Structure 1
Amino acid sequence: MAVIHRTTMKPGKLELIAAWLPARPWYTGTSGAPELTRAGGFRLDDPEGEVGIEFVVVTDVSGTGPVAYLVPLTYRGAPLEGAEQGLVGTSEHGVLGTRWIYDGAHDPVLTERLLALLRGDAEPQHQSLTGVPDPAVVPEAAEGALPAGAAVVAVEDGPQGTRLVVEAGGRRLGLELVRVPEDGLTGPGALGRVTAEWELPDGTRARGAVAVLREG
């Protein structure tokens, strides 16, 4: 079970994300620095208890209208070998010391847990409370779509988002991370999906897909 520490991080998550976000191919901003606010998210537990896993939704209000972004993050006590391209930055945690923070699409612990969530073998956790499940996060997948040996074998990042290439029982699937989630977007016709909620700037709640599983 991940323990949520009430402490400081320097620099903070929003600072790190704001510096990292403009270089992403799926970032829709055009000029200036992002102005980010927290909008929602959830956590997954690492069974080994070594890696923090958090799916963060932030809202950028720097443009003509607010835009939500999904940023899956992992928090590690040491660098992840071979994942340099996924490094968001480092931060000093008030309890745990230096943390290496990665875009979770490039971290095998997060991708394995996301597949487990879709299979029903992992339970989404509240973003800021220890040991509290988050019933607002709803995973669903077609029966047999993700056998136990399914694994992510490649990451494809492009203007439409991030696609995780999954090998599953001799088949290839695509697990799309919906980097710009939209209210009501749930991925019709998919083999599976994870839907979640986030807060809009006016205080109302939105719900849509944050991950969608498809053939091919």
Structure 2
Amino acid sequence: MALLHRAEIRPTKLELLSAWLPGRPWFQGEAAAGVERVAAYRFDDPAGQVGIETLLVRAGGGPVLQVPLTYRGAPLGDAEAWLVGTCEHTVLGRRWVYDACGDPVYAAALAGAVLAGAGQAEEYFEVDGHREHRPPSMVLTVDGAWRATAPGLGAIDRVEDGDPTRIVTDAVELAVVRHVGTEPGPAGARLSGTWDGQPAPLPLASAAPR
């Protein structure tokens, strides 16, 4: 479950991405146009400490890009290369925003979603002590899940920041599509998604044991 807050964030997520995305090797689009949100989905952190959200965005007339993000209340060690930026959240305070492909909490959540079919997090707003459900903007499906529970990842060996971005661990290889609509590889279980205006499922990520 993802518990959300009605809060102001400065700079906004899209402002952070508008500055950060043009420097990525897989970026395509109109950098001067900034980015607009297309859809999004979330995963759960079982420890409840890290926010995990994947945004689908577009820069001008460019392709739909997939950008997984993690939100943390303190810097992640040895992850400066994956830092998108920091922002001020009126409820939670300062947040460190990372490209989630460099965050082990995201890797574990993605492996659980793809290999064990854990699915996306249910989203709720907390309003005056009550929780209001927020309908998802995407529907995720998994083809080929083969475990009843999320597998142990082991240590992350390396992350290759391309399209797809590959996250290689001791036990699993994950691939995250950056240009949505392209194939993720490697062969294995696959995560796909649909959203308003995109009724046919498009691949988002894949996972395979090593």
The TM tier, using the shorter chain, reads: 0.7 to 0.9
Q: CA deviation at 1:205?
A: 4.6
Question: In structure 1, what is the Cα distance between the partners aligned to 2:121 and 2:150?
Answer: 23
> Which of 210, 213, 216 is the aligned partner of 2:204?
210
The residue that corresponds to 1:163 in the other structure is 166
Cα 1:121–1:205 shift into 2, 3 Å: closer
**Residues 1:108 and 2:104 are matched in the alignment:** yes
> Which of 153, 158, 164 is the aligned partner of 1:154?
158
**Residues 1:143 and 2:146 are matched in the alignment:** yes
Percent of pairs with identical residues? 40
Cα 1:7–1:34 shift into 2, 3 Å: same
> What are the equivalent positions in structure 2 for 1:49-64 lying under 5 Å apart?
49-61=48-60
Cα 1:189–1:163 shift into 2, 3 Å: closer
Question: In structure 2, what is the Cα distance between the partners aligned to 1:147 and 1:97?
Answer: 31
**Residues 1:191 and 2:188 are matched in the alignment:** yes
Q: Which amino acid aligns with 2:86?
A: T
Q: CA deviation at 1:133?
A: 8.0
Cα 1:161–1:85 shift into 2, 3 Å: same
Cα shift readout 1:87-115 (whole Å, capped 9, x = no counterpart): 00000001001000000001111111111
Query: 1:86·1:102 contact (CA, 8 Å) conserved in 2?
Result: yes
Q: CA deviation at 1:188?
A: 7.9
Q: Which amino acid aligns with 1:143?
A: W
- The normalised TM-score by structure 2 is 0.83
Q: CA deviation at 1:76?
A: 0.4
Moved over 4 A (4+): 126-135, 185-189, 203-206
Query: 1:139·1:193 contact (CA, 8 Å) conserved in 2?
Result: yes
Unpaired stretches in structure 2, ≥5 consecutive residues: 126-131
**Residues 1:71 and 2:70 are matched in the alignment:** no
The residue that corresponds to 2:176 in the other structure is 177
**Residues 1:8 and 2:14 are matched in the alignment:** no
Cα shift readout 1:63-104 (whole Å, capped 9, x = no counterpart): xx3411100000000001111100000000010010000000
- The normalised TM-score by structure 1 is 0.81
Q: Which amino acid aligns with 1:6?
A: R
Query: 2:2·2:124 contact (CA, 8 Å) conserved in 1?
Result: no
- Report SS of the residue matched to 2:87: strand
The residue that corresponds to 1:42 in the other structure is 41
Q: CA deviation at 1:212?
A: 1.9
Question: In structure 1, what is the Cα distance between the partners aligned to 2:113 and 2:18?
Answer: 28
Q: Which amino acid aligns with 1:7?
A: A
Query: 1:51·1:74 contact (CA, 8 Å) conserved in 2?
Result: yes
Cα 1:91–1:39 shift into 2, 3 Å: same
- Report SS of the residue matched to 2:170: strand
The residue that corresponds to 1:120 in the other structure is 116
Query: 2:124·2:133 contact (CA, 8 Å) conserved in 1?
Result: no
Query: 2:18·2:31 contact (CA, 8 Å) conserved in 1?
Result: no
Q: CA deviation at 1:116?
A: 1.0
Q: Which amino acid aligns with 1:47?
A: P
* Root-mean-square deviation (Å): 2.8
